[in-house]
Structure 1
């Protein structure tokens, strides 16, 4: 006998709570109004009655978005959420519409959650799409590992649940989910992955592709976690004040060394690191030929617009410094923290 969609969703939420829940406190569900988030609201409210709060983000990108957001909040209340808030955000910034909307959404959810974790309704299908996107972009194992079930404060109880189950759950509950037109707009790469690439792969491989991709992500997450722990220990060993000891790093495997260097760069304020930049910094350790400093983006904008961070090797250590936009080529950058 086939399980009901609501039963599958509730079981997934229950298992997530048993493994990751920080206690008996409140939960926030990010409610878009679509089938996945509506089913998640219902499942979470059933498993933790009186503790689930919904937050709907109105991106303001489509005509009638305020009405859609209000309807989503009403669905969340009917599904059993204690309350449901609508927050309007402004979508701006670099990286395209999808990336800007994602930044605005997560920033608003983080501000609204208080101390509670936020459950988001990514499914197994979303995970499969994410793995394929990571492969296509050559972003490395961290990207191909996809989304984690819990990256505090973000919880994803439905990563092992297919979209067919969330839609079935909504049908069982009498919920008519909102169909976001962006989810069928072929201008977005993820939509074409969903509507064209994955169905073709399922046909060619005779099914099971989405589940296989999700399993790959789970396996890689375990590998990445181990490598990150080892790299953290290496980073602690290599620290020399604000710098890193080249001799400590040099003899280590590249996978650990680059992870340690990446963590050091991120904690120093670098963001948006490319593989090329990271390998150039690593070459200051592993392939030293007297090369000059390596520039990386400065997320903190400490020396004004256009400033950058530079990493250089001096006296057997790697150091990182802030270089103003209009500094003279012969001027030494300001050392970070000085």
Structure 2
């Protein structure tokens, strides 16, 4: 009899891959050897051929722990045992001096993009679960990073090269992937870093979420994941509104962009602030804080003749009915 957890994981993968059915595309599984990615690899090896898709896997060896090459080789061997013939391992160098989590993630994603290009993969599959999503939302809440951060991880996004990054397991609990591996005879690797309290995500996983479940009752992780889904819908709607609006209210000026004051004033604050942040990010590569965004917005709604505002890489000033955002020389 098929285990309910195996059935649930396979269904999640089949649903995520359904848009690619019959395309003869290849999908690349990002395989760490842990229970989440191992369950994802085994389920993909089962479902992808039934949808007319090819499968490859890539295990990234960050070289940050003793024996990491052996762990990577073992993960690749288990991928082959599940039916993934094209199972690669890639050693990467993690930048020294950067935050270890962010640096490892950047190196891993670069390696996955390279393997995807080499194998002709149309999509990279990532093994993040509902529990990972809940942790991400809590970390974003603690940083006060706004709705964009609370929207968590997207189940499907296209990067600038047209490569799809898909997370089929965002509705699957971590306990289900562990049960999948047990039912399938797969021995998952336990990452020692997942037990090191110096990492904020580990503290959320081992202390904060269990405390919330204990004090508020079960279902906190599910509620956080639902919140992320709802906020992603809101963000997508706002993004569409900005795309429809921005071409009509901005114009290029020397070394920058000018935005119509009257047009900004006609929009509600939520959309006004998003337009300001969008222009700052797209034109100057700057991520404005809430305080910085409000300072620029006051040039629209609370202008009393104040002068230019210094911002990361550019200045903002009101002149002749326009908010001029100009790069600093």
TM-score (norm 2): 0.88
Alignment partner of 1:204 is 2:219:
no
Alignment partner of 1:31 is 2:31:
yes
Partner of 1:53: 56
Give, in whole Å, the separation in 2 of the partners of 1:136 and 1:21. Answer: 40
Contact 1:55 1:109 in 2 (8 A): yes
Partner of 2:309: 294
Contact 1:4 1:168 in 2 (8 A): no
Contact 1:128 1:214 in 2 (8 A): yes
Give, in whole Å, the separation in 1 of the partners of 2:170 and 2:124. Answer: 15
Alignment partner of 1:141 is 2:147:
yes
Contact 1:277 1:295 in 2 (8 A): no
Deviations 1:141-184 (A, max 9, x none): 11111111101221000000011111111112211111111111
Contact 1:10 1:44 in 2 (8 A): yes
Give, in whole Å, the separation in 2 of the partners of 1:21 and 1:109. Answer: 22
Alignment partner of 1:164 is 2:175:
yes
Alignment partner of 1:314 is 2:324:
no
Task: State the number of aligned residues.
Answer: 314
Alignment partner of 1:266 is 2:271:
no
Give, in whole Å, the separation in 1 of the partners of 2:91 and 2:46. Answer: 28
Partner of 1:40: 40
SS at match of 2:315: strand
Higher percent of residues as helix: 2
Tell me which moved more, 29-38 or 221-230. Answer: 221-230
- Quote the offset at 1:84 in angstroms: 1.6
Pair 318,210 (structure 1): closer, same or farther in 2 beyond 3 Å = same
What is the 5 A alignment of 1:111-260? 111-114=114-117, 116-152=122-158, 153-241=164-252, 242-260=257-275
- Quote the offset at 1:286 in angstroms: 2.7
Give, in whole Å, the separation in 1 of the partners of 2:26 and 2:182. Answer: 27
Tell me which moved more, 86-95 or 185-194. Answer: 86-95
Give, in whole Å, the separation in 2 of the partners of 1:322 and 1:180. Answer: 45
SS at match of 1:268: helix
Give, in whole Å, the separation in 1 of the partners of 2:219 and 2:310. Answer: 44
- What is the RMSD of the two structures over their aligned residues, measured on CA atoms? 2.2
- Quote the offset at 1:270 in angstroms: 1.6
Contact 1:270 1:309 in 2 (8 A): no
- Quote the offset at 1:189 in angstroms: 0.8
5+ unaligned residues in a row in structure 2: which ranges?
Answer: 159-163
- Quote the offset at 1:248 in angstroms: 1.0
SS at match of 1:289: coil
Deviations 1:116-161 (A, max 9, x none): 2111000010011111111111111111111111012210000000
Give, in whole Å, the separation in 2 of the partners of 1:4 and 1:162. Answer: 13
